[in-house]
Chains A and B, each alone.
Chain A
Amino acid sequence: MADILLYRPHFVAFIILFLLGMYIMVVCLNLVKKLIGMYIMQTSIILFFITLAVKEEGTIPILMPSALALPPEAYANPLPHVLMLTAIVVGVSTLGVSLAMVIALYRKYDTLEEDQILEKIQ
């Protein structure tokens, strides 16, 4: 447990962010707060992937015509960045759909609290 703090302190930050997001999603009754929690949770995963790409002394993974002779190990890994671009798009579309649902619920029940909506349904 101690070595994770020593060598990978950023992982601890991601775990805290992930758990915080999940806690907000489960505990808060306000629908918009739930979505904020969802976004925090997704962001923690995106940050986790991005840190997998980092290398010490690694340079930008673009093949420049001027500098041809670099070995592959000298570049940072570009794949996690590309994957996370896709994951960000997925996250944004989920957020878009969920905000549309929240708006429709607000127009119908005039509140954003889940317990009050349930009361009005019954």
Chain B
Amino acid sequence: MTSSLPGFLFAIPFFAAIAIPVAGFTNQKLCRPVALGALVLLSIVSVIGLSKAVSHGPLSHEFGGWAPPIGIEWVIDGLSGILMVAISIVSLIALVQAGPLVKKELSGRLIPFYSLSLLLIAALGGMVLAGDLFNLFVFLEIGSLASYVLVGVTGGRSLLSAFRYLILGTIGASLYLLGVGYFYAATGTLNMVDMAQQLPGLLDSRAILTGLLFIVLGLSIKMGLFPLHGWLPDAYTYAPNSTTPLLASVVTKVPLYAFVRIAFWVFGMDAVSVQIPVLMVLGWIGAVAAIVGAYLAIWQENFKRMLAYSSVSSMGLFVLGFSLGTETGFAGGLFYVLADTLMKAALFGVAGAAVYQCDANTVADFVRLRRNMPWVSIALLVSALSMVGIPPTAGFFGKWYLVVGALEAEKYFAVATILITSMLTALYFFRMFQHMWAEEPLPLTEPRVLETPFPIRMSLGILTFGIMALGLGSDFVVGLIFESVIPEGF
């Protein structure tokens, strides 16, 4: 069905990103309302888009009236609709929370912060909606440029990690572009649907094989898949606390989406599992990534660095889930992506709040949270239990479906990996809780600070509630995934 909704989903954050410097030029206080208003509107429109795509089938928009494959096409189907809803809602919550932190950390540079955040969200939306491989590259680079600047915006140490992120990210994007060139040379098209029709006859061509290799390598750098995660720990650790909830929750998930789209929609299940066994290789890489990431997280003293390695570990689990090759594994992988988006936003939000109020950077410092910040501690507890996988949180159901999918596929190494990863995750979070609750509280002479500002508490509360609600409503979400997302060929 033709609809202009995909265009709106990009236009709302993009024009808000342009409007913010204009509005903020006269009065800086206008930046925040414009940004939050745009994101509320975006969330509503993306929910409408998802419900329409589920009930009426995919919505597509052709630019300039040129029909695909000649023209450029943007599509909302089940997968892109669900991701668009997740991106818009989580980024809204992340920006609500960033309010007090921006004032303190970025010394009130509101215009660049809000403008770049919205540009990043617009680019992520563009990547999710694009039905064309080259369009996807352009949005990949726009989003990456915005995130390099958001990482390095405070200068000093963070700038050096942003520069390294830029160098590695550009290598990733160049490899992706090279792969697209190989595909174009072999098929003569860039449109995903058209390419999917041409590929089955070309699967034994060396150009397609090499192109797929380059694309997978490039996207793996962008999504921080072990062993190509080199940029990720430094970037997350030194990035300002106001930007990490947004960066950590959505930025690496969207390159993963691009990989899933290319593997299952452009190539198709049969091609990537039988003819070119990419999924088998990625399954092993994902398993190693999940375990090594969780193992490295145990040894980190800095809380944000621990969470960064935890992201590396989660990325391994997603890749493992998608590579299982069963419907349940695919649905579990996607559900876990959604759950992790909420969990990472909440955990990095807690990290920001802890530094803001108690100056607690390391895991050992978290003893201060117990007395000073009871609300934030509850958010931390719930999201940590969800990371470990304790029912009824969202993380438990994500891992549950992954395990069921692995058993269906009879891949017992995957089952073992998920269980070992959960145990290692429990180890590094319980080490933190030991500091928080088992140690002697601080002497009363240390000054007591008040609870965090209201926006931080509210957004952490919503995220905590969301983690529980997604867990309790997992039947509905997984049913939706089964009904309207699962690609053909399973």
A residues whose Cβ falls under 8 Å from a Cβ of B: 18, 22, 25, 31, 34, 38, 41-42, 45, 48-49, 52, 80, 83, 86-87, 90, 93-94, 97-98, 101-102, 104-105, 108, 114, 117-118, 121
Would A121 and B160 count as touching, CB distance under 8 A?
A: yes
- Taking the nearest CB of chain A, how far is it from the CB of B48, in angstroms? 31
In the assembled complex, the Cα of A87 lies from the Cα of B142 at a distance in Å of 11
Contacts of A105 in B (CB 8 A): 159-160, 163
Would A86 and B138 count as touching, CB distance under 8 A?
A: yes
Interface centre among A25, A38, A83, by most chain B C-beta atoms within 10 angstroms, is A83
- Taking the nearest CB of chain B, how far is it from the CB of A31, in angstroms? 7
Contacts of B141 in A (CB 8 A): 90, 93-94
* Chain B residue at minimal CB-CB distance from A96: B145
Would A45 and B157 count as touching, CB distance under 8 A?
A: no
Closest 3 CB pairs of A and B: A90-B141, A101-B163, A49-B181
In the assembled complex, the Cα of A36 lies from the Cα of B155 at a distance in Å of 23
Contacts of B163 in A (CB 8 A): 31, 98, 101-102, 105
In the assembled complex, the Cα of A18 lies from the Cα of B171 at a distance in Å of 10
Judged by a CB distance under 8 angstroms, whether B178 is at the interface is yes
Would A45 and B174 count as touching, CB distance under 8 A?
A: yes
Would B166 and A104 count as touching, CB distance under 8 A?
A: no
Within 8 A of A (CB), among B161-197: 162-163, 166-167, 170-171, 173-174, 177-178, 181, 184-185
Would B177 and A45 count as touching, CB distance under 8 A?
A: yes
Contact check: which of B160, B170, B178, B185 meets A38 at CB < 8 Å? Answer: B170
Contacts of B171 in A (CB 8 A): 22, 25, 41
In the assembled complex, the Cα of A31 lies from the Cα of B163 at a distance in Å of 9
In the assembled complex, the Cα of A31 lies from the Cα of B164 at a distance in Å of 10
7 contacts between A and B (CB under 8 A): A38-B170, A41-B174, A49-B184, A52-B184, A90-B138, A94-B170, A104-B152
**What is the predominant secondary structure among interface residues of chain B facing chain A?**
helix
* Chain A residue at minimal CB-CB distance from B185: A52
Judged by a CB distance under 8 angstroms, whether B148 is at the interface is yes
In the assembled complex, the Cα of A114 lies from the Cα of B137 at a distance in Å of 29
Contacts of A121 in B (CB 8 A): 156-157, 160
Judged by a CB distance under 8 angstroms, whether B149 is at the interface is yes
Judged by a CB distance under 8 angstroms, whether B265 is at the interface is no
- Taking the nearest CB of chain B, how far is it from the CB of A3, in angstroms? 12
Contacts of B173 in A (CB 8 A): 90
Judged by a CB distance under 8 angstroms, whether B134 is at the interface is yes
Would B178 and A45 count as touching, CB distance under 8 A?
A: yes
In the assembled complex, the Cα of A31 lies from the Cα of B178 at a distance in Å of 24
- Taking the nearest CB of chain A, how far is it from the CB of B178, in angstroms? 5
* Chain A residue at minimal CB-CB distance from B164: A114
Contacts of A102 in B (CB 8 A): 163
Would B177 and A87 count as touching, CB distance under 8 A?
A: yes
Contacts of A87 in B (CB 8 A): 137, 177
In the assembled complex, the Cα of A114 lies from the Cα of B159 at a distance in Å of 12
Would B134 and A38 count as touching, CB distance under 8 A?
A: no
Would B155 and A104 count as touching, CB distance under 8 A?
A: yes
In the assembled complex, the Cα of A25 lies from the Cα of B175 at a distance in Å of 14
Contacts of B184 in A (CB 8 A): 49, 52, 80
Would B145 and A93 count as touching, CB distance under 8 A?
A: yes
- Taking the nearest CB of chain B, how far is it from the CB of A40, in angstroms? 11
* Chain A residue at minimal CB-CB distance from B156: A108
Contact check: which of B152, B156, B177, B181 meets A52 at CB < 8 Å? Answer: B181
Mark interface residues in B109-145 (1 if CB within 8 Å of A CB, else 0). 0000000000000000000000000100110011001
A52-B185, A80-B184, A121-B157 given; A101·B174 CB < 8 A: no
Would B174 and A34 count as touching, CB distance under 8 A?
A: no
Contacts of B134 in A (CB 8 A): 83, 86
- Taking the nearest CB of chain B, how far is it from the CB of A38, in angstroms? 5
Would A101 and B162 count as touching, CB distance under 8 A?
A: yes
In the assembled complex, the Cα of A34 lies from the Cα of B169 at a distance in Å of 13
Contacts of A49 in B (CB 8 A): 181, 184
Interface centre among B152, B170, B185, by most chain A C-beta atoms within 10 angstroms, is B170
A45-B178, A80-B184 given; A104·B170 CB < 8 A: no
A94-B145, A108-B156, A117-B160 given; A38·B167 CB < 8 A: yes
Interface centre among B138, B160, B173, B184, by most chain A C-beta atoms within 10 angstroms, is B160
Contacts of A42 in B (CB 8 A): 170, 174
Contacts of B142 in A (CB 8 A): 90
* Chain A residue at minimal CB-CB distance from B160: A117
Interface centre among A86, A97, A102, A114, by most chain B C-beta atoms within 10 angstroms, is A97
Mark interface residues in B206-245 (1 if CB within 8 Å of A CB, else 0). 0000000000000000000000000000000000000000
Contacts of A101 in B (CB 8 A): 148, 152, 159, 162-163, 166
In the assembled complex, the Cα of A25 lies from the Cα of B171 at a distance in Å of 9
Contacts of A22 in B (CB 8 A): 171
In the assembled complex, the Cα of A54 lies from the Cα of B305 at a distance in Å of 50
In the assembled complex, the Cα of A15 lies from the Cα of B174 at a distance in Å of 13
In the assembled complex, the Cα of A84 lies from the Cα of B134 at a distance in Å of 10
* Chain A residue at minimal CB-CB distance from B162: A101
Contacts of B145 in A (CB 8 A): 93-94, 97
In the assembled complex, the Cα of A19 lies from the Cα of B349 at a distance in Å of 41
Would A25 and B167 count as touching, CB distance under 8 A?
A: yes
In the assembled complex, the Cα of A18 lies from the Cα of B170 at a distance in Å of 13
